């Protein structure tokens, strides 16, 4: 089944169901050249004999008897003959193992059947834009999210994170976003929501550490009249309010154990009961959770339920710290400058090569949040030199001479870099703590990281206040 080649982008579609092929052709043929195949062998022959198309849409269930195995071996064949061909999978349901397998084989997206014209249009458009066929105005580095927030990415690693978010957005699998403080975990959660079919519904964030257990329970699950003193009328919780939307459970590692059990039940069958009620409520809510604590350690310490971890960990997105993607610093600095200028209603200041150099030389223990605050400070002070001096003072005060011995005498570069970076960070933190007489709140504020993150780092680097001096020392 061939449609004459009359447009610039060529899309090939493989599906055993002719009705689906006809539908896809009706949606796409007025803007693209479309070739349709019902048979995998015929598709492979055509791919090996002709130049690569721009995009392949392929049914996951092709050759139903063998199911996934068949789709995977076909994907491998296609990859062998056309290594960089973007592929979108069409699937009836996307189980985690399918998403993982498809990602491994480099699928760019999954569209769930039955799909609407708009789902197909969006996936095709995003895929072709990524190819550089039709870049939208800001597409090169920035995806606008809600309000003033955007997802900026300009390096390969962050584009991979974007692809993972896009893939998992097409499913309802719970997602666990991990990463140090300020690396963009919330931004990633908003991106997943925005790219999902729930994007027109609510995205609600609940901070699990900001309130006591009782309050958190009523916040999440609601209560009936008389459930406790002061419950004068019934109130639905966030899970009910957020029905058909996405709930973002921030700092999940700090959730009290009693609530972890209740959350586990919601993840298992979407049901729970309000406080003071015996009947259960059923909801359809997509859960995204985030934490910056070492969750495996929390499981070992029995502060986090292992079964809940496995439920939440349907798909993990790991946000890299800024020091591992320094090439993004100039683009992010420009973005934060535009964002701050819009917020304070003033003109953005230029970011000179000298400032860029100072910014890229800093280790950013507070990650993107710290960079954003530095840019805000620059805009307010309007004194570039002050910022450059501040950053270079921090650098010279904290940068130890690289020493392979100190890094364990290990020639493995990754290990060496990790050790040296850790040394720099721990030296910077120790110095700030000492400068502040071990006042942790003040130090966290100086370093522009959260209090909790500072406590975590103190523990991680095994830092402790100097022993109190004995009286005879003072003589």
Ligand X SMILES: Nc1ncnc2c1ncn2[C@@H]1O[C@H](COP(=O)(O)OP(=O)(O)OP(=O)(O)O)[C@@H](O)[C@H]1O
Contact positions vs ligand X (CB under 6 A): 149-153, 179, 181-187, 292, 335, 368-369, 372, 450
Q: Are 59 and 114 in contact (CB under 8 A)?
A: no
Q: How far is the CB of 288 from Mg ion (least distance, A)?
A: 11
Residue nearest to Mg ion (CB): 186
Stretch that binds Mg ion, among 23-31, 89-97, 140-148, 185-193 (CB under 5 A): 185-193
Q: How far is the CB of 166 from Mg ion (least distance, A)?
A: 21
Relative orientation angle of helices 440-447 and 451-460, to the nearest 10 degrees: 100
End-to-end CA distance of the chain: 96
Residue nearest to ligand X (CB): 184
Nearer to Mg ion, 128 or 249 (CB): 249
Task: Give dist(CA 225, CA 19) in Å, integer.
Answer: 53
Q: Identify what 369 binds: Mg ion, ligand X, none; CB under 5 to 8 Å per kind.
A: ligand X
Q: Are 298 and 304 in contact (CB under 8 A)?
A: yes
Secondary structure of 370-401 in the HEC alphabet? HHHHHHHHHHHHCCHHHHHHHHHHHHHHHCCC
Q: How far is the CB of 353 from Mg ion (least distance, A)?
A: 32
Task: Give dist(CA 132, CA 10) in Å, integer.
Answer: 14
- Site map 199..238 versus Mg ion, x via CB under 5 A: ----------------------------------------
Structure tokens given for 33: 């050249």
Q: Identify what 305 binds: ligand X, Mg ion, none; CB under 5 to 8 Å per kind.
A: none
Q: How far is the CB of 475 from Mg ion (least distance, A)?
A: 50
Q: How far is the CB of 41 from ligand X (least distance, A)?
A: 43
Q: Which residue has the tokens 């392979």?
A: 404
Q: Identify what 298 binds: Mg ion, ligand X, none; CB under 5 to 8 Å per kind.
A: none
Q: Are strands 55-59 and 87-91 parallel, antiparallel or unpaired?
A: parallel
Nearer to Mg ion, 71 or 312 (CB): 312
Query: Which of 177, 209, 187, 201 has its CA nearest to residue 288?
Result: 177
Nearer to Mg ion, 11 or 176 (CB): 176
- Cα torsion through 299, 304, 306, 311, rounded to 10: -140
Helix (H, G, I), strand (E, B) or coil at 226: coil
Please identify which residue in 59, 98, 186, 370 interacts with Mg ion, judged by CB under 5 A.
186
Nearer to Mg ion, 180 or 328 (CB): 180
Q: How far is the CB of 288 from ligand X (least distance, A)?
A: 11
Query: Which of 322, 323, 374, 327 has its CA nearest to residue 351?
Result: 374
**What are the residues binding Mg ion (CB under 5 A)?**
186
């Amino acid at each position: 089944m061939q449609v004459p080649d009359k447009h610039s982008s060529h899309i090939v579609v493989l599906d055993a169901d002719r009705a689906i092929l006809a539908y896809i052709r009706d949606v796409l043929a007025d803007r693209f050249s479309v070739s349709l195949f019902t048979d995998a062998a015929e598709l492979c022959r055509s791919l090996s004999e002709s130049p690569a198309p721009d995009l392949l849409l392929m049914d996951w269930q092709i050759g139903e008897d063998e199911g996934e195995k068949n789709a995977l071996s076909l994907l491998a064949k296609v990859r062998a003959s056309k290594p960089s061909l973007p592929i979108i999978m069409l699937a009836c349901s996307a189980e985690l193992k399918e998403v993982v397998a498809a990602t491994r084989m480099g699928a760019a997206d999954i569209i769930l059947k039955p799909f609407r014209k708009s789902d197909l249009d969006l996936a095709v458009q995003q895929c072709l834009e990524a190819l550089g066929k039709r870049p939208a105005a800001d597409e090169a580095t920035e995806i606008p999210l809600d309000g003033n927030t955007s997802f900026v990415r300009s390096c390969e690693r962050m584009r991979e994170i974007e692809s993972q978010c896009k893939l998992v957005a097409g499913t309802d699998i719970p997602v666990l976003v991990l990463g140090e403080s300020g690396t963009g975990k919330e931004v990633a959660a908003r991106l997943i929501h925005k790219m999902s079919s729930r994007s027109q519904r609510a995205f609600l964030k609940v901070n699990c550490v900001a309130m006591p257990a009782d309050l958190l329970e009523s916040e999440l699950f609601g209560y009936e009249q008389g459930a406790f003193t002061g419950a004068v009328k019934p109130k639905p919780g966030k899970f009910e309010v957020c029905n058909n939307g996405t709930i973002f459970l921030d700092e999940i590692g700090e959730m009290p154990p009693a609530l972890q059990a209740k959350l586990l039940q919601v993840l298992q069958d979407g049901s729970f009961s309000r406080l003071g009620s015996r009947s259960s409520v059923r909801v359809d809510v997509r859960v995204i959770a985030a934490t910056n604590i070492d969750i495996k350690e929390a499981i070992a310490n029995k502060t986090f339920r292992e079964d809940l971890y496995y439920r939440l960990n349907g798909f993990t997105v790991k946000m890299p710290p800024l020091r591992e993607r320094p090439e993004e610093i100039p683009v992010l600095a420009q973005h934060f400058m535009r964002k701050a200028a819009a917020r304070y209603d003033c003109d953005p200041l230029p970011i000179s090569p000298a400032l860029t150099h100072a910014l890229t030389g800093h280790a950013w223990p507070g990650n993107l949040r710290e960079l954003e605050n530095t840019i805000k400070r620059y805009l307010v002070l309007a004194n570039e030199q002050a910022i450059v001096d501040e950053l270079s003072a921090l650098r010279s005060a904290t940068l130890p001479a690289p020493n392979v011995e100190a890094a364990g005498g290990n020639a493995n570069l990754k290990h060496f870099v990790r050790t040296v970076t850790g040394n720099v960070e721990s030296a910077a933190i120790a110095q700030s703590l000492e400068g502040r007489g071990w006042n942790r709140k003040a130090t966290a504020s100086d370093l522009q990281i959260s209090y909790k993150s500072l406590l975590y780092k103190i523990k991680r680097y095994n830092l402790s206040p100097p022993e109190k001096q004995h009286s005879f020392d003072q003589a």
